[in-house]
Structure 1
Amino acid sequence: MSQTVLITGSSTGIGRETARLFQARGWNVIATMRTPESESEFDRFDNVRVLRLDVTDEASIRDAVDEGVRAFGAIDVLINNAGFGAYGPLEATSLETIRKQFDTNVVGLLAVTRAVLPHMRGRGRGTIVNISSMGGRVAFPLGSLYHGSKFAVEGLTEALSYELGAIGVRVKLVEPGMTKSDFGSRSLVFSSDESMPEYAALVKGTVEAFATLQAAETSDVAETIFTAATDGQDRLRYPSGHDARMFIDMRRQQDDETFARTLKRMFNM
């Protein structure tokens, strides 16, 4: 029998490419998004259900999980992909944006996981893949909110790997680097305004440094996600992309002071 995957944030980018990959490989796909009424591609497939799910709306989470189980009988894999990034000086960031960053990337991920767990626990098996980032292992300038949220995803996932392993559920982390997707356009970027010129040079150097990184294709990240979901291993972390592997290895090998000097050179600080 075909297995079933539920993917959050399936309307664009990595989530969309991942839904395409699982569908093409014969899986039943519950492709969730905030605005399913605008979807046209996935509606053509018998093994795909497009459902509304906003990770900040508990009722929509519950309804999507229940409908997905009714449609396909089970959820074998959950991929927590929905998220965005807020970047810029903390001073330039509103409390509303701070809350939105953590409500989406952390609390929303936990809420979806909680909704799926009773089903997986009842079956004694399942796999949860949380989409983190190289930014969950390495912190760059102006990313206090985004990195804070992804460091949280790393920690909670590692803890859950023990907790859920006891009931037969595997938990994985996929850590993409820069990716050719719409993530940048969906992110919130705050540059220093005229009242905070002290940050201007840092903002400029950060933008220029990121522009030099080699971005991966969304299809490559989707392959990594598929591997994490299906390899049957107890491996926890799956970096994806050249820059992700480079920075994560560098951070692992260098002490704090050496790594800080390396980044400051890269970002012209």
Structure 2
Amino acid sequence: MTKTILITGASSGIGKASAKLFHEKGWNVVATMRSPDEETELTTLGNILVVRLDVSDHDSIAAALAAGIDRFGRIDALVNNAGHGQYGVFEAVPPEKIKQQFDVNVFGVMDVTRAILPHFRANKSGMIVNVSSGAGLFTLPMISLYCASKFALEGFTEALSYELLDLNIGVKLVIPHGGVSATSFNERSAQDAAVAEAPADYAPFMANAAKAFAGMSATRTMSSADVAAVIYESVTDNSSRLRYLIGDDARGFVRARREMTDHDYVNFMRSHFTAVK
């Protein structure tokens, strides 16, 4: 029987690349997005159902799952890919933007997952892949809220994997780190930057951090298709592995987090962004 996967945030970037890859591999794909009427590529491919799903809208979640099951009979895997990145120093980010960050990256993942679990339990099988970030392993300034949401996602996913293992439902994390080229994530993050101007006291730090981020962006070598290939591997490799990292750790952030003492790690990270040693 042909298997079916549901992917959130499939209008661009990693989500769209994943939808195309699973389609190429012979899967049925429920490609979900907030504005399906604007999609022109995936709608031309057979065995892909493009349907509306906004992770902050419970009714749209239920409707998308029902549409996928009605079209293909069952859903075998879920990729929680939809994400939002809030940029700006914390003090300048208004409460409604903080809520939006967690509504998409944490509560949205939880709501989609909760909605599909009865179907997976009835089938006595299923796979859930949550797309995380290096910012869920180490932190970076100017994206403190994004980091907080991805740390929450990491903790939730790991704990959930224990709860569902005996039910034959796999739970995994795919963790791009180092920056992904050719996505609209950065453009959306810029649009959602803190609407309030940061206090002038932050100016020296922000200038220093901007230089550091510019250097990081220049070294991006990972594409959405690269990440999609790892997502496909995580869904199909029949392993109990939890975390799949993908990216170039040339900056050494992952290695520092895993190998250094906490004191040395913090000092190493500070050296990239602050003038205070």
TM-score by length of 2: 0.93
Is 1:127 aligned to 2:127, yes or no? Answer: yes
Q: Which string of whole-angstrom CA distances, capped at 9 and with x for unpartnered residues, describes residues 87-108 of structure 1?
A: 2111101000000000111000
Q: 1:109 to 1:244 in 2, by over 3 A?
A: farther
Asked if the contact 1:134/1:244 (under 8 Å) is kept, the reply is no
Asked if the contact 2:174/2:245 (under 8 Å) is kept, the reply is yes
Asked if the contact 2:101/2:146 (under 8 Å) is kept, the reply is yes
Trace 1:209-228 onto structure 2 (pairs within 5 A): 209-213=212-216, 214-215=219-220, 216-228=222-234
SS of the residue 2:142 aligns to: coil
Q: Which residue of 2 aligns with 1:261?
A: 267
SS of the residue 1:242 aligns to: coil
SS of the residue 1:130 aligns to: strand
Asked if the contact 2:249/2:255 (under 8 Å) is kept, the reply is no
**CA deviation after TM superposition for structure 1 residue 205, in Å:** 2.1
Letter aligned with residue 200 of structure 1: A
Instruction: Tell me the number of residue pairs that the alignment of Structure 1 and Structure 2 aligns.
Output: 268
**In structure 1, how many angstroms separate the alpha carbons of the residues matched to 2:184 and 2:126?**
30
**In structure 1, how many angstroms separate the alpha carbons of the residues matched to 2:259 and 2:64?**
43
Letter aligned with residue 207 of structure 2: K
**In structure 2, how many angstroms separate the alpha carbons of the residues matched to 1:224 and 1:207?**
30
**CA deviation after TM superposition for structure 1 residue 244, in Å:** 8.5
TM-score by length of 1: 0.96
Letter aligned with residue 184 of structure 1: N
**CA deviation after TM superposition for structure 1 residue 245, in Å:** 9.1
Q: Which residue of 2 aligns with 1:186?
A: 188
Is 1:197 aligned to 2:203, yes or no? Answer: no
**In structure 2, how many angstroms separate the alpha carbons of the residues matched to 1:14 and 1:206?**
26
SS of the residue 2:29 aligns to: strand
Letter aligned with residue 113 of structure 2: T
Q: Which residue of 1 aligns with 2:76?
A: 76
Is 1:107 aligned to 2:114, yes or no? Answer: no
Q: Which string of whole-angstrom CA distances, capped at 9 and with x for unpartnered residues, describes residues 155-187 of structure 1?
A: 000000010112110000011121011111111
Query: Which stretch has the larger CA shift, 235-244 or 77-86?
Result: 235-244
Q: Which residue of 1 aligns with 2:248?
A: 242
SS of the residue 1:50 aligns to: strand
**In structure 1, how many angstroms separate the alpha carbons of the residues matched to 2:37 and 2:210?**
35
Is 1:232 aligned to 2:238, yes or no? Answer: yes
Q: Which string of whole-angstrom CA distances, capped at 9 and with x for unpartnered residues, describes residues 132-166 of structure 1?
A: 10000101112221011000000000000010112
**In structure 2, how many angstroms separate the alpha carbons of the residues matched to 1:16 and 1:124?**
28
Asked if the contact 1:4/1:76 (under 8 Å) is kept, the reply is yes
SS of the residue 1:152 aligns to: helix
**In structure 1, how many angstroms separate the alpha carbons of the residues matched to 2:84 and 2:126?**
26
**CA deviation after TM superposition for structure 1 residue 199, in Å:** 1.1
Letter aligned with residue 175 of structure 2: E
Q: Which residue of 2 aligns with 1:91?
A: 91
Asked if the contact 1:22/1:29 (under 8 Å) is kept, the reply is yes
Q: 1:18 to 1:59 in 2, by over 3 A?
A: same
Q: Which residue of 2 aligns with 1:252?
A: 258
What is the CA RMSD across the aligned residues, in angstroms?
1.5
**In structure 2, how many angstroms separate the alpha carbons of the residues matched to 1:36 and 1:248?**
36
**In structure 2, how many angstroms separate the alpha carbons of the residues matched to 1:191 and 1:266?**
26
Structure 2 unaligned regions, length at least 5: none
**In structure 2, how many angstroms separate the alpha carbons of the residues matched to 1:65 and 1:176?**
27
Letter aligned with residue 45 of structure 1: L
Asked if the contact 1:129/1:225 (under 8 Å) is kept, the reply is yes
SS of the residue 2:249 aligns to: helix
